[in-house]
Structure 1
Amino acid sequence: MLTPKTIPNPQFRNHLTWIFLGLWVGTMLLFWQQHQKDSTLSFANAAAKTANAVVNIYTFTNQETPFNHSNNQKITNLGSGVIISKDGYILTNHHVIQGASAVIVSLNDQRQTRASIIGSDPATDLAVLKIELTELTPINLGNSDTLRVGDQILAIGNPFGIGQTVTAGIVSAKGRDSIGLNTYENFIQTDAAINPGNSGGALVDLKGQLVGISSAIYSSSGGSQGIGFATPINDAIKIMQSIIEYGSVVRGYLGLQVQENSHQVAIALNLTTDDGLIVTSVTPNSPAYNAGIRAGDILISIEKYTDLSAHRAQQLVSQLTPGEDVTIKGLRGTQSYITKARVEKLPAMQAVEHN
């Protein structure tokens, strides 16, 4: 007697198919997670993506000899820069190229060329160069606004002129604005080793995207002590665009100096409030002077902004457009007032000195 073959239930076959599919997807997911984990253990991918966009910068000045009065060129500075565009624009620091009679840029592929200085901004210690070479590799731009304290970053540059070097660290702080290095400060602080020669180099995230331009170190010895500062790339790009378009950075100007008010200050000066900003001086014939603002007044708001620090007020005014009217609310004694000031262009600034 023949026993008929058992025909598997179609539902059972579908069930087995889904089991095998689930096992395959799970295996692939584990492999992918392991690959991602292995990738995060190394900074090699991020460094490789950015290496060709970071350049070494050598500056020269003409030195006159005392006997025959002939000019000799002498290397006076070493620094770094970052290629921002395929047509050769490079971001670096103002103090790297300050006073240079010639600037030479050395690429990671061993090419060297002379660079033109498009312009610089001593107030933020940024400068823009341009080189005339083909087949350049510009860096990918990140978003410095999305950086978080604790994020891992890399500093890439040319410390001590020994060649391109990569150091790793984290974002230690953001918005550092009272360091005393520049007139306008909004630094990213990092513990990645930044040494002399790193100035103007790249601060990148682990995707290889530029998030800052390395600017300075805070050190008693001249070497890295785990406190480095970089200009956020979102700020630096705006500066660069202004320099390319106008030859300099156009900033607003009101012509007044302020200091922050506090309970202790209000008691000491016998003020009627401990809010606002105290006007310490007003430049004659400036927009603030013509608007009726005087030393001793207390500024309650500039436009819609209240509760301003002295530094934030300075930044706010610098971002105003020359020619526009700005509304200012103030207090003189017990009498409040509202006035409008016509913003002017900030006069040319003297170069910021660096040690």
Structure 2
Amino acid sequence: MPSRLRFSPWPVVLLIGALTAYLSPQADWNRGGPFTPVPQAHSALPDAAVVPVPTALTPEARALFEKVRPASVQIEQLGQDGSGGLGSGFFISADGLLLTAYHVVDGARVIRVRTVSNQAFPARVVGFDNAADVALLKIDTRGRVPYLPLAQVTPRVGERVLAVGNSRGDFLQPRRGRLLALNAEAGRADFPEGTLEMSAPLAPGDSGGPILNPDGEAIGVVSYVRVDTQGQTLSSYAVPVTRNETLITELRGGLKRDVPAVGLYFDTAHDGISSPPGGVIGDVVRGSPAEKAGLVGLTRDQNDAVRGFGDIIVSVDGVRVRSADDAIFEIRRRKIGETVTLLVNRRGVQREVRLPLVAKGSLNFGQ
């Protein structure tokens, strides 16, 4: 996988179940481009009692799936702008702590967790790490819930893995594959580094679900997939988790680690073909430092077709950038509270813009 993915020559990379706009230097991505938003929540959730368990599993895989399914959940979220979406997650303790991908709950006003027994619980965010794309949630329950043990050791390349998720309209169904690589490169500055690469055919809705080893231990949290131009999954990726991992301890302690943002949507569809080449701004977030500095995005007609470029970022603190990914990478190297200097080109005229870096969660995305 390339260290810096370019969308023109490379297959599309898709964040599974990503929210409508992951608008930060962690994921400033284009509207209407090769990324897809989270599927809208189903109008009626399936009754777990009538959802069949697939028969195309080996006896061993079927037994494992039936064992771990009760600890897996479907996650519904309602955003600040009223949009909704679905993701997956799994309990890691009997008192109702559960892991999911951060992008599943990023910007959510309401989070609801649904179990295989069709019980629904409100959930709150205990901690998160935006860059790692992992969040720890908590439901309040009087009883004990089934949970998955986290792996004690690093998984082995080549071993079979099982994912449980909610993609393709299914409710907590299995996907099988093999572990292809450890510590895989993200390929984009806005995806988590050091992920597990797998052959499991995952899709939107599986985000945040567990990746399990043959012993039924959770080895990862589903994050993103790489697909070809026809939308077929090439590889799936999960953030690794182990029992003694520092991140899990920090999340239990209430860690809320955000990423720096200026409030930009980047238009990656024009990477490498703009003049001059750079990070093409697709749009800006209302009330963000980018809007206050007067940055503008693409102009569009009444049918939302692109009519012309606005601002193109050509350098960040003096470092030349030639794509949205380059710009995101440079911005994310800074810290929240710092000031960044962007050199932007607007129809042949260049100017410098100084912007404060703020926490991504402080901006009103989706508005």
Please state which band the TM-score falls in when normalised by the shorter chain: 0.5 to 0.7
* 1:128 Cα deviation after fit: 1.2
Residues 221, 238 of structure 2: 8 Å contact kept: yes
Report the equivalent of 1:131. Answer: 139
Pick closer, same or farther for the CA change 1:165–1:106 going to 2, 3 Å.
same
Give, in whole Å, the separation in 1 of the partners of 2:205 and 2:244. Answer: 19
Give, in whole Å, the separation in 2 of the partners of 1:110 and 1:101. Answer: 22
Residues 160, 177 of structure 2: 8 Å contact kept: yes
Give, in whole Å, the separation in 2 of the partners of 1:113 and 1:178. Answer: 33
Report the equivalent of 1:43. Answer: 61
Residues 141, 210 of structure 1: 8 Å contact kept: yes
Residues 144, 233 of structure 1: 8 Å contact kept: no
Give, in whole Å, the separation in 2 of the partners of 1:174 and 1:141. Answer: 17
Give, in whole Å, the separation in 1 of the partners of 2:198 and 2:77. Answer: 27
Report the equivalent of 1:192. Answer: 200
Give, in whole Å, the separation in 1 of the partners of 2:229 and 2:245. Answer: 32
Give, in whole Å, the separation in 2 of the partners of 1:119 and 1:229. Answer: 22
Q: 1:179 aligns with which of 174, 184, 187?
A: 187
Q: Secondary structure at the match of 1:194?
A: coil
Pick closer, same or farther for the CA change 1:222–1:195 going to 2, 3 Å.
farther
Report the equivalent of 1:339. Answer: none
Q: Does 1:152 align with 2:160?
A: yes
Please give the residue correspondences for 1:104-143 in structure 2 after superposition, counting only pairs within 5 Å: 104-133=112-141, 134-143=143-152
Instruction: Specify the code of the residue in structure 2 equivalent to 1:142.
Output: A
Give, in whole Å, the separation in 2 of the partners of 1:160 and 1:238. Answer: 34
Question: 1:308-350 CA deviation, whole Å, 9 max, x = no partner?
Answer: xxxxxxxxx9xxxxxxxxxxxxxxxxxxxxxxxxxxxxx9753
Report the equivalent of 1:266. Answer: none
For structure 1, which segment, 237-246 or 200-209, has the greater mean C-alpha deviation from structure 2 after superposition? 237-246
Q: Secondary structure at the match of 1:239?
A: helix
Report the equivalent of 2:302. Answer: none
Give, in whole Å, the separation in 2 of the partners of 1:222 and 1:239. Answer: 36
Q: Secondary structure at the match of 1:172?
A: strand
Q: 1:248 aligns with which of 256, 259, 268?
A: 256
* 1:229 Cα deviation after fit: 0.2
* 1:109 Cα deviation after fit: 1.2
* 1:212 Cα deviation after fit: 0.9
Structure 1 gaps of 5+ residues are 1-38, 64-72, 252-282, 284-294, 296-316, 318-346
Instruction: Specify the code of the residue in structure 2 equivalent to 1:108.
Output: V
* 1:78 Cα deviation after fit: 0.7
* 1:177 Cα deviation after fit: 2.3
Provide the TM-score with structure 2 as the length reference: 0.52
Pick closer, same or farther for the CA change 1:114–1:152 going to 2, 3 Å.
same
Question: Which structure: greater helix fraction?
Answer: 1
* 1:220 Cα deviation after fit: 3.8
Give, in whole Å, the separation in 2 of the partners of 1:89 and 1:176. Answer: 27
* 1:238 Cα deviation after fit: 2.9
Report the equivalent of 1:166. Answer: 174
Structure 2 gaps of 5+ residues are 1-56, 260-316, 320-332, 334-356
Residues 162, 211 of structure 2: 8 Å contact kept: yes
Give, in whole Å, the separation in 2 of the partners of 1:196 and 1:89. Answer: 23
Please give the residue correspondences for 1:289-300 in structure 2 after superposition, counting only pairs within 5 Å: none
Q: Secondary structure at the match of 1:213?
A: strand
Q: 2:75 aligns with which of 57, 67, 83?
A: 57
* 1:41 Cα deviation after fit: 5.2
Give, in whole Å, the separation in 1 of the partners of 2:227 and 2:189. Answer: 13
Provide the TM-score with structure 1 as the length reference: 0.54
Pick closer, same or farther for the CA change 1:150–1:99 going to 2, 3 Å.
same
Please give the residue correspondences for 1:161-310 in structure 2 after superposition, counting only pairs within 5 Å: 161-180=169-188, 182=190, 184-220=192-228, 223-234=231-242, 237-249=245-257
Give, in whole Å, the separation in 2 of the partners of 1:152 and 1:57. Answer: 26
* 1:198 Cα deviation after fit: 0.3
Q: Secondary structure at the match of 2:66?
A: helix
* 1:223 Cα deviation after fit: 4.5
Question: 1:283-324 CA deviation, whole Å, 9 max, x = no partner?
Answer: 9xxxxxxxxxxx9xxxxxxxxxxxxxxxxxxxxx9xxxxxxx
* 1:149 Cα deviation after fit: 1.3
Give, in whole Å, the separation in 2 of the partners of 1:247 and 1:131. Answer: 18
Pick closer, same or farther for the CA change 1:178–1:99 going to 2, 3 Å.
closer
Instruction: Specify the code of the residue in structure 1 equivalent to 2:197.
Output: Q
Instruction: Specify the code of the residue in structure 1 equivalent to 2:72.
Output: V
Question: 1:7-27 CA deviation, whole Å, 9 max, x = no partner?
Answer: xxxxxxxxxxxxxxxxxxxxx
Give, in whole Å, the separation in 2 of the partners of 1:238 and 1:223. Answer: 36
Give, in whole Å, the separation in 2 of the partners of 1:197 and 1:142. Answer: 23
Give, in whole Å, the separation in 2 of the partners of 1:237 and 1:109. Answer: 30
Give, in whole Å, the separation in 1 of the partners of 2:58 and 2:151. Answer: 18
Question: 1:231-285 CA deviation, whole Å, 9 max, x = no partner?
Answer: 111299532321231432499xxxxxxxxxxxxxxxxxxxxxxxxxxxxxxx9xx
Q: Secondary structure at the match of 1:45?
A: helix
Instruction: Specify the code of the residue in structure 2 equivalent to 1:186.
Output: G
Greater RCO between the two (CA within 8 Å, min separation 6)? 2
Residues 104, 208 of structure 2: 8 Å contact kept: yes
Q: Secondary structure at the match of 1:56?
A: strand
Instruction: Specify the code of the residue in structure 2 equivalent to 1:209.
Output: E
Give, in whole Å, the separation in 2 of the partners of 1:94 and 1:127. Answer: 5
Q: How many residues align?
A: 216
Pick closer, same or farther for the CA change 1:144–1:44 going to 2, 3 Å.
same
